Amino acid sequence: NLETDTEKLIQIVLIGQPELEKVLAKDGLRQLRQRITIQWELLPLNLEETRGYIQHRLNVALGKGKVRFSRQAVETVFRYSRGIPRMINVISDRTLLIAYTEGTKKISPQIVKIAVKDIGSLVPLESWADKFWKLVIPSAIAAGIGFFALNFFALPEFDNKPQGKDIAALIKEDPIDLSSPGELINYSAASATVAPSSNVPEVVPQPVAVVEAASKPIPSNGMLSISDSEKLVTYLSSLTFMESKLEAVKWIFESWNIAPENLQDKEDLEILIEDYQLLQYEMNGTMKRLQSLNYPALLEIALPNAQGTKYLALSSIKGDTGVFGSVDKIEMPLSIINSIWTRKAIVLWKDFENLPESFDLGFEGKEAVWLQKNLRLLGYFQGREAPLYGPKTIRAVRRLQRNNNIKDDGKFQVDSKMLVYNLLQIYPTPELVIQ
């Protein structure tokens, strides 16, 4: 017996693919089906879940930031896998293999389709457009057949033979009276009465002036030089808020050696930042503090006369001159942006060691030893390393902060992490200040 009156002697768990439901639905297995007390079905993933699942598998395989599935590629995987995780794994694995043979790290829909063709026997999930055309085309054909059938069988035939009376018979019935013929009108006299006055000046058509439309300025590939803030305001006012941010962030990506392909909207920006494990640090401060952190940054610009907020990338600084980025690369004195910069900046940075969010007094862990060793290399820590964030480490962090214009609270937080990564030569961070 499998069970008693009080308990089940053995528990059986059946786990299978969607086909298991069809097998259990057979009439010969109805007794087994009746003994199932709990049944749970994992529904196929939707498109967003498929995107997250693929990214999770890449992260587990340590491929985050190394390989990127485009949005269209994920949609293609979703259509052919129908959201079933097993098929997502099969298609993605074959896709990565084909991408490797082609020497590319960006997965496009074309590569996914090659992988699907190689696997074979996969039918894509119908999109709304496919369903629309499958409904419209048969309906149009049926309507056309119906129209011609109606025209052929139901509409009456029209007889083109003349059915009216003969013209000669109509004249005999109502003859014209020719006893008093009418008078002829003198054409020359009639024309004289209506002739226009000779005093009216003759209108001579004037030639139409053809003016060529002003050609739209084409951004140069070289570096623009801007000498006053009015020109900068005019330059930025032609862009929308999001256009200015996307154009500016491309230069920040370039400083990290990232090619921002197909960066079209906010969603693309967020995906690219996540793929390359970049973090955003928003700060309010001065140009001196930005120089201390030594990272390229996005500057928030407030244009005068309610022309809106824009973004401008600060790529590098040499002396009193900065190199900025928007649609073009711009060189100008730092003093030009003083009056329109809101003092807000966004810095993209990378936490190479995945350190804890914050180090406070009493923190224990190997990360404390890592910090002490690197603070020693930078000349701030003395003594013996220990897996404890204690008073000695706090004093070393405070010295680091004071020397680099950071709030010296002794807490090793985001700005201090960014600073240490930048000061150490072993981490590939971009530098803002050119010596």
Q: Is residue 192 a part of any domain in this protein? A: no
So what's the pLDDT on residue 136?
66
Number of domains comprising the chain:
3
Residue 69's nearest CA partner among 244, 205, 256, 268 is 268
* 234-273 per-residue burial string, b: 16 or more CB within 10 A, e: under 16: ebbeebeeeebbbbbbbbbbbbbebebeeeeeeebbebbb
Residue 334's nearest CA partner among 375, 288, 381, 390 is 288
377 and 340, same domain (yes or no): no
325 and 281, same domain (yes or no): yes
Residue 296's nearest CA partner among 243, 232, 251 is 251
Q: Is residue 183 a part of any domain in this protein? A: no
CA–CA distance, 311 with 249 (Å, rounded to integer): 9
302 and 328, same domain (yes or no): yes
229 and 293, same domain (yes or no): yes
Residue at which a domain ends, from 95, 119, 143: 119
Residue 70's nearest CA partner among 110, 101, 118 is 110
**343: burial class by Cβ within 10 Å (0-12, 13-18, 19+)?**
middle
Q: Is residue 268 a part of any domain in this protein? A: yes
So what's the pLDDT on residue 39?
80
So what's the pLDDT on residue 223?
85
> CA gyration radius for the chain?
40
337 and 372, same domain (yes or no): no
What is the domain extent for residue 230? 223-349
Split the chain (435 residues) into runs of 10 and give each run's mean pLDDT.
Answer: 73 82 88 82 85 88 82 92 92 94 90 92 69 66 74 58 57 60 52 48 50 39 83 92 92 88 72 83 92 95 90 95 94 93 95 87 89 94 90 94 91 94 92 91
So what's the pLDDT on residue 198?
46
| Angular region, 65: left φ>0, alpha ψ -120 to 50, beta rest | left
Calculate the alpha carbon distances from 236 to 4, 248, 301, 334 in Å.
Answer: 80, 11, 9, 16
Q: What is the CATH number of the domain that holds 335?
A: 3.90.70.10
Q: Is residue 217 a part of any domain in this protein? A: no
Residue at which a domain ends, from 76, 95, 119: 119
344 and 229, same domain (yes or no): yes
399 and 286, same domain (yes or no): no
106 and 61, same domain (yes or no): yes
pTM score over 0.85: no
So what's the pLDDT on residue 323?
96
323 and 387, same domain (yes or no): no
312 and 392, same domain (yes or no): no
Rounded to the nearest angstrom, the gap between the alpha carbon of residue 195 and the centroid of all alpha carbons in its chain is: 72
So what's the pLDDT on residue 212?
41
CA–CA distance, 217 with 110 (Å, rounded to integer): 36
51 and 80, same domain (yes or no): yes
So what's the pLDDT on residue 42?
79
Residue at which a domain ends, from 119, 146, 171: 119
So what's the pLDDT on residue 389?
92
| Angular region, 308: left φ>0, alpha ψ -120 to 50, beta rest | left
Q: What is the CATH number of the domain that holds 73?
A: 1.10.8.60
Cα dihedral 214→219→220→221 (10° resolution): -150
